[in-house]
Chain A
Amino acid sequence: MGAPRTGTGTLKRGNRGRLPDVPETPPHFDGGGVSSTLYLLRLVRTVMSWLSKVRNSLSSLSKRDTPDTLWMKCPSCGEMLFAKDFEANLSVCPKCEHHGRIGTQARFDQLLDAGYTVLATPKVPENPLNFRDTKKYPDRLKAARAANPFPDALTNALGTIEGAKAVLGVQDFKFMGGSMGMAVGEAFVAGAERAIAEKCAYIILTAAGGARMQEGILSLMQMPKTTVATRRLAAAGLPYIVVLTDPTTGGVTASYAMLGDVQIAEPGALIGFAGQRVIQDTIREKLPDGFQRAEYLHAHGMVDMVVHRKDLKGTLATLLGYLARKEVA
């Protein structure tokens, strides 16, 4: 994990493996848990604190456009960084190598050769449950769309990586926590299908707190739905490569994010099924150092490699060189 992280935020109870500003997984987007009243009460507290942390984190790393925020503080080591330098360094802190969260467009630019095509996001039924909590779901969607360049949390582009053709899907945590609803499921299927039509690899960069609760059971159904798509890629003999980025949790992890032919993770990324607080409340002891981080998953055999962002494009190109379908003479 590199140097111990001593961020400036509210560092929690000496858990040094955890970034202060990175929200935990929503405790159970995947409903994991035993049903006791005590458990539920603890859960509520967990969730409340998670929510406030999400709010904080959403603004922590994003560069604001006003001149007085030309400088930013690395959320991991606290180093003051010139925002432009940070971006030029692929949003990786030059001092501590903390990998910041980055948007879809930046990912496309970093990984694809010039001249790629962004693919249209498929349309899906909007608000089929007619859902409202404290706000109407369409209002939440509208706000997310106003704040983001793409219409939902997963966007595909068709292009080349050092000359090798690929469809690249990027999930954006800034769009409603990257959550998987029907739009994400349908975009994933469309990306895989396009790769099959183009006879090329499908590469997905995952980032999500889990399922989109405002779509209820329909979001859960995206787990088998996206798995149909990974099976079809396999049947076509095409590579399916997963790059797990910070954070990837819940139902996304428990479906397409764990089914890659090759599993890559970005350094320090939080990757898991259940939320850390839920787990802590269940086992009532301190979590192991670096728990659910990329390096921990690597040590436990769940990912093939942890790759620094500066090496990601080259790694993908090398993999495509080995795995991409050979044209039959």
Chain B
Amino acid sequence: MISFLDFEKPIAELEARIAELRATANGSELDIESEIDKLAKKSAAMLAATYAKLTPWQKTQVARHPQRPHFLDYIRLVFTDFVPLAGDRVYGEDAAIVGGLATLDGRKVMVIGHEKGHDTPSRIKHNFGSAKPEGYRKAIRLMEMAAKFGLPVVTLVDTAGAFPGVEAEERGQAEAIARSTEACLALKVPMVAAILGEGGSGGAIAIAAANKVLMLEHAIYSVISPEGASSILWRTPDKAADAATAMKVTAQDLLSLGVIDGVVAEPVGGAHRDPAAAARALADAIGRELAALVVRTPAELVQQREERFLAIGSL
């Protein structure tokens, strides 16, 4: 069962009506069958029309949809032979960031990303995708291992932000994020990052300073959550929708600003309505970027990555 978002209410009502009719129509009542058919077409058209023009705030809700596929879903759907690797060798294992060796359409890679979890126990296990220093230090360790063995790095970003807690501060959250960003920039192997849902600020960029950065069609990427910006800049919690628009958080906005390199189309109605199709599209897009990058020399890869970020904000 798909859970509907507030702005999907008309679609939800149509779907409920269809389900009702289906329940009553047992067998060959042609009238009901054609009515169902008509309503289904209407519902599909409405869904397509709604998702073709989502507002930034609506996209924020889609990006955070509880049923939106997360890191481990993509691993299951399109990566094979995944060998998870745990721990930062300094303090602990942080399941908010998952990583390991994997094969993507025949290409061996190191894949690293945030996992938010999909129900209460898994959300707690993965700390809702909010990583601590040990998560970022594990990411650094895996990136360095990838470079050592000539494996391209693929990162899948999906976090509301790095974890704000005493222990995270005490173990150097800021330093861990800074070093992880630095590790991305130092990589002598290709790196492709994809924002799956939420790209939440420093917690996201720490594993997203890549040669190429992709975003799913309804993902968001921002320096602060729309709610946070509303509170700080408008001094009210009610302006999150305005803040989402003003901050330009959508994939389409960020493509035009030159912050990302490509937008990966999602199935009609969002990735959660067809995770397999979303994963296939993402795998194809990452594969295309990797194919273009693997022919470059290590020096070219480092330079392209540096130039990419130096150019942002230069005249």
Report A's interface with B, CB cutoff 8 A: 26-35, 40-41, 43-44, 47-48, 50-51, 122-125, 128-129, 131-134, 181-182, 185-186, 189, 211, 213-225, 227-228, 230-231, 250-251, 253-259, 272-275, 278-279, 282-283, 287-288, 291-292, 296, 300-302
Contact = CB atoms under 8 A, between A and B. Distances in A.
Given A32-B130, A231-B306, A292-B169, 17 more contacts: A32-B201, A48-B231, A48-B235, A128-B257, A132-B246, A133-B239, A217-B222, A221-B313, A228-B309, A251-B202, A254-B162, A254-B202, A255-B181, A273-B168, A273-B174, A274-B165, A291-B169
Nearest to B260: A217
A125 B315 contact: yes
Given A217-B247, A274-B168, A51 B257 contact: no
A32 B313 contact: no
B224 A29 contact: yes
Nearest to B228: A28
Interface in B238-273: 239, 242-243, 246-249, 254, 257, 259
Contacts of B185: 224, 227-228, 231
A254 B309 contact: no
A247 B242 CA distance: 29
Contacts of B200: 31-32
Contacts, number: 248
10 contacts: A28-B201, A28-B224, A32-B202, A44-B236, A213-B224, A220-B205, A223-B181, A227-B185, A251-B201, A288-B166
A128 B258 CA distance: 12
Interface residues of B, number: 67
A33 B181 contact: no
4 closest Cβ pairs, A-B complex: A182-B313, A274-B164, A31-B161, A31-B201
Given A33-B164, A124-B315, A217-B254, A224 B232 contact: no
A109 B50 CA distance: 60
Contact of B201 (A30, A124, A128): A30
Contact of A291 (B166, B172, B186): B166
Contacts of B168: 273-274
B225 interface: yes
B71 interface: no
Interface string B175-204: 101110110111000000000000011111
From DSSP, what is the main secondary structure of chain B's interface residues? Answer: helix
A195 to B, nearest CB: 16
Interface of B: 64, 127-128, 130, 160-166, 168-175, 177-179, 181-182, 184-186, 200-206, 209, 221-225, 227-229, 231-237, 239, 242-243, 246-249, 254, 257, 259, 306, 309-310, 312-315
Contact of A29 (B209, B223, B254, B310): B223
A216 B224 CA distance: 8
B161 A217 contact: no
Contacts of A258: 172, 174-175, 178-179
Contacts of A218: 257, 259, 312-313
B182 A230 contact: yes
Nearest to A249: B174
B223 A216 contact: yes
A50 B186 CA distance: 37
Nearest to B222: A217
A256 B174 CA distance: 10
B224 A217 contact: no
A225 B223 contact: no
Contact of A273 (B169, B225, B242, B313): B169
A189 B184 CA distance: 18
B233 A32 contact: no
Contact of B170 (A224, A278, A300): A300
A43 B178 contact: no
A253 B182 contact: no
Given A33-B161, A44-B231, A300-B170, A28 B225 contact: yes
A35 B130 CA distance: 10
A285 to B, nearest CB: 8
Nearest to A287: B166
Contacts of B201: 28-32, 211, 220, 251
B40 to A, nearest CB: 33
Contacts of B202: 30-32, 220, 223, 250-251, 254-255, 273
Contacts of A279: 164-166, 169
